[in-house]
């Protein structure tokens, strides 16, 4: 696959705090996809979720993670690709924050290829955000996972298939991209 100028690969929240035994398998997949995308001249956005002390995640859910380093840091394996990417900090699930919308509008991206963590939350919300802005979301399902496990990932894929349509979900192989074999 050769990305067009209107295509962008968005790596959602590939941060230490979201990598668990249930999601670590996706790290080499995302690294490979980002590497191939950048090598082909494609634009990459890496989002970074920051949980502030007065957030609804803290207030309503009692969830205090993702407030400081090393949890908020992008995984070490992706660090070589950060300089060639747009890093978008966010305090909500979606990449379509005011700064994100401005970035997508300014760059003229129309096709949003999405990978990352967590499938059922930030990946799904970003895909829906793209869809609602009349941008085409393309979720690369083998490039997504959930730190909560396979059931949460599968639930996210199910809901996205229902809300976005099956044509918006694909795999790296269907796009002609190579990823490492699972160990």
Whether 25 has a pLDDT exceeding 60, the answer reads yes
Number of domains making up the chain: 1
Going through the chain in order, the beta strands assigned E by DSSP cover: 7-12, 43-49, 86-90, 111-117, 136-145, 169-170
Residue 178: inside a domain: no
Residue 123: inside a domain: yes
The whole-number pLDDT of residue 20 equals: 97
Determine the angle formed by the axes of helices 150-164 and 124-132, rounding to 10 degrees. 10
Tell me which residue has tokens 């394996």. Answer: 77
pLDDT tens profile 86-119: 999 999 999 999 999 999 999 999 999 999 999 9
The whole-number pLDDT of residue 1 equals: 80
Sheet with 136-145: list strands edge to edge: 86-90, 43-49, 7-12, 111-117, 136-145, 169-170
Residue 21: inside a domain: yes
Q: In which region does residue 25 sit, left (phi positive, over 0), alpha (psi from -120 to 50) or beta (all else)?
A: alpha
Residue 183: inside a domain: no
* pLDDT more than 90, % of the chain: 95
**Domain extent at residue 140:** 7-170
Residue 147: inside a domain: yes
d(CA 160, CA 119): 9
Whether the model pTM is above 0.85? yes
pLDDT tens profile 146-162: 999 999 999 999 999 99
Q: What is the pLDDT averaged over residues 125-136?
A: 98
d(CA 153, CA 156): 5
**How many residues are present in the chain?**
183
Which residues in 38-73 are b (16+ Cβ under 10 Å) and which e?
Answer: beeebbbbbbbbebeeebebeeeeeeeebbeeebbe
Residue 165: inside a domain: yes
The whole-number pLDDT of residue 182 equals: 61
CATH number of the domain enclosing 153 = 3.40.50.850
pLDDT band for position 183 (cuts 50, 70, 90): low
Residue 113: inside a domain: yes
Residue 2: inside a domain: no
Using CA of residue 112, residue 113, residue 119, residue 122, what is the dihedral sign? negative
């Amino acid at each position: 696959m050769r990305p067009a100028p209107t295509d962008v690969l968005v790596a959602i929240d590939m941060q230490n705090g979201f990598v668990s035994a249930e999601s670590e398998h996706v790290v080499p997949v995302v690294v490979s996809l980002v590497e191939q995308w950048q090598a082909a001249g494609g634009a990459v956005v890496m989002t970074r979720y920051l949980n502030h002390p007065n957030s609804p995640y803290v207030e309503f859910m009692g969830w205090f993670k993702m407030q400081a380093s090393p949890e908020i840091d992008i995984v070490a394996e992706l660090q070589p690709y950060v300089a060639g990417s747009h890093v978008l900090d966010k305090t909500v699930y979606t990449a379509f924050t005011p700064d994100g919308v401005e970035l997508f509008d300014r760059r003229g991206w129309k096709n949003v290829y999405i990978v990352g963590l967590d499938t059922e939350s930030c990946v799904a919300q970003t895909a829906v955000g793209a869809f609602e802005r009349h941008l085409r979301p393309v979720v690369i399902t083998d490039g997504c996972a959930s730190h909560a496990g396979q059931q949460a990932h599968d639930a996210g894929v199910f809901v996205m298939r229902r809300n976005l349509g099956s044509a918006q979900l694909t795999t790296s192989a269907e796009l002609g991209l190579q990823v490492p074999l699972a160990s």
